[in-house]
Structure 1
């Protein structure tokens, strides 16, 4: 079988998978990695097809999986690299580059706001900084949060993990601890950040759940830490925070692996299932009303929901079959 390389335009031989697991792995790779090595023009075109809102001030895209927002060591292509190209595709060759208003992690998909003018970008950034933007995320969790709705209000701090793979992770820094069977106040750490997450289970089985998250604060990896270490329900595909002591592919039950069509040895191919579902921006500039921005989840997310027998809210089911055509 042959395919056209998006980066070079050349024909390349593609291995034909010989087992159901291999086909499933190839499917995951196709869903999540096809935009990481393409030509900048190809990426800009894909982003333009993912636009969910556009006006004289803002352009809102559905960010694909696996694409960093900013450049850095080892990063070949990022969203900020193609903003000048995207602007020209939308407004002609004389258009000024678009500006980032906020960021999403490389592995997070969903609503991303861009601005035509730097001043507008700064205004939106200030709305985020002062917590005036309502945010909702969807995630698939391993196990089901108990209780099914609540608030996790536990500070988060970055700590070094000792061991063969010495590295840093965010973790919980609770204000209380158990001592001789009694709850006592823990010494506060100045480096800890206040972190508050509201959550609600939208659909669940015995071993997995679709959960809506509303972060009240915006601490690094807050949602991943609160789910894994606070509720003991790590995000599906979170290979960093499923185990505190090491960096390793997430361990899943045989039942979950069977539903996903994988073996444990191939679990490393499961992407992080964390999707920025909705942003609500307050009135800004000439716009006198709040603006609700919603992005459909990517194809791999929808596929996992089906395989795990999880249901999206009824008002969201129509049309989500086509979500993420550009490799999200």
Structure 2
């Protein structure tokens, strides 16, 4: 039908075209369509709206925050872990350390160090050393007793912290440590699975300056060997005079979905040794290690999508992740008069929650083969 109509059209003359043009240009504009009226609010919708507003008003009056989403709850939970004891009164920190003490005898004390609290004063909130006199009073120690931290832990590391109760104990601990007779084991959650699953990392460390827009310093590897130009075999190179020996034993306890629970035993005690060996030597940075997950810049750790999903986080919220490195166990050798001292420290809450979310299992919880 359409084709027939088009074929029956007569050709337009110049006069008729002129009339059509004049009609189109002088015709009044078409009236704009009237806006559609909104549907009237139903009584049931109005009642729901009033009830919702009333509930929010009551929550505000009582000081209750609006219901948080699962993501907001997770971020709030992480922030709470990091800020729990960083800026508390010294008496509060001393009381917490006393309550969570792991071991004591006439020579040493082993504390359960919380996250985010420095052992020594670095100008950032309450430190453990500053509250030791208060702790000594709580323990009713002798007046001449002076608690001294030995083999300190980094601010972001939790777990066993060794204190000496007298100078003789300090000297003994220094001797044992120098001769590698104190065994310390750490647990870490890593992003990535170390290959091989067990081994010894023997690569010296050196502090390096990172230039650029974010000028900073980091501990880095200073290898003693390099690959030959052919790619086959290695050649020994001269060690940097400022590099120091660093040796770490490790073994994977469990791995799943690109993450691992790793046990580490440092045979030397350099700054950030475990973190650098995991991130730079094995390519498996510790979960929450924002310093060593990227070498050239300081930025929140980037995590794979599947790990973010299991942790219940978005990319923009990874900055709230804590460092998942825990001093799990300490063993001091026995003497003729004293037995061996073996102290294990329970995992902090944020660590166990991360293990659960990542489906990583403690070794003693695995089903027998």
Deviation of 1:25 after TM superposition, in Å, equals 1.0
Q: Against the structure 1 CA distance between its residues 304 and 95, is the aligned structure 2 distance closer, same or farther, given a 3 Å change threshold?
A: farther
Residue 293 of structure 2 contacts residue 301 of structure 2 at CA under 8 Å; is this kept in 1? Answer: yes
Q: Against the structure 1 CA distance between its residues 190 and 305, is the aligned structure 2 distance closer, same or farther, given a 3 Å change threshold?
A: same
**Structure 1 counterpart SS, 2:102:** strand
Residue 238 of structure 1 contacts residue 271 of structure 1 at CA under 8 Å; is this kept in 2? Answer: yes
Residue segments in structure 2 that go unaligned for 5+ positions in a row: 1-62
- Indicate the larger mover: 180-189 or 107-116: 180-189
Q: Against the structure 1 CA distance between its residues 106 and 261, is the aligned structure 2 distance closer, same or farther, given a 3 Å change threshold?
A: same
**1:282 aligned onto 2:298:** no
CA distance in 1, matches of 2:94, 2:336: 27
**1:265 aligned onto 2:313:** no
Report the RMSD for the aligned CA atoms in angstroms. 2.0
Residue 186 of structure 2 contacts residue 325 of structure 2 at CA under 8 Å; is this kept in 1? Answer: yes
Deviation of 1:102 after TM superposition, in Å, equals 2.1
**1:36 aligned onto 2:90:** no
**1:247 aligned onto 2:298:** yes
Matching residue within 263, 271, 278 for 1:212: 263
Aligned length: 303
- Specify the structure having the higher radius of gyration (Cα): 2
Matching residue within 165, 188, 200 for 1:139: 188
CA distance in 2, matches of 1:126, 1:14: 56
Residue 84 of structure 1 contacts residue 96 of structure 1 at CA under 8 Å; is this kept in 2? Answer: no
CA distance in 2, matches of 1:176, 1:99: 40
Q: Against the structure 1 CA distance between its residues 18 and 93, is the aligned structure 2 distance closer, same or farther, given a 3 Å change threshold?
A: farther
Structure (1/2) with the larger strand percentage: 1
CA distance in 2, matches of 1:14, 1:105: 37
CA distance in 1, matches of 2:154, 2:64: 30
Residue 17 of structure 1 contacts residue 23 of structure 1 at CA under 8 Å; is this kept in 2? Answer: no
Q: Against the structure 1 CA distance between its residues 16 and 44, is the aligned structure 2 distance closer, same or farther, given a 3 Å change threshold?
A: farther
Deviation of 1:97 after TM superposition, in Å, equals 3.7
| Runs ≥4 residues deviating over 3 A | 13-17, 92-97
> What are the residue-to-residue correspondences of 1:84-99 with 2, within 5 Å?
84-91=133-140, 94=143, 96-99=145-148
Relative contact order, higher structure (CA 8 A, sep 6+): 1
TM-score in terms of structure 2 length: 0.78
CA distance in 2, matches of 1:257, 1:46: 32
Deviation of 1:222 after TM superposition, in Å, equals 0.9
Match of 2:16 in 1: none
Deviation of 1:18 after TM superposition, in Å, equals 2.2
TM-score in terms of structure 1 length: 0.87
Residue segments in structure 1 that go unaligned for 5+ positions in a row: 1-12, 317-328
Deviation of 1:94 after TM superposition, in Å, equals 4.7
Matching residue within 363, 366, 369 for 1:313: 363
CA distance in 1, matches of 2:289, 2:167: 34
CA distance in 2, matches of 1:17, 1:261: 17
Residue 255 of structure 2 contacts residue 261 of structure 2 at CA under 8 Å; is this kept in 1? Answer: yes
Residue 88 of structure 1 contacts residue 95 of structure 1 at CA under 8 Å; is this kept in 2? Answer: no
**Structure 1 counterpart SS, 2:275:** helix
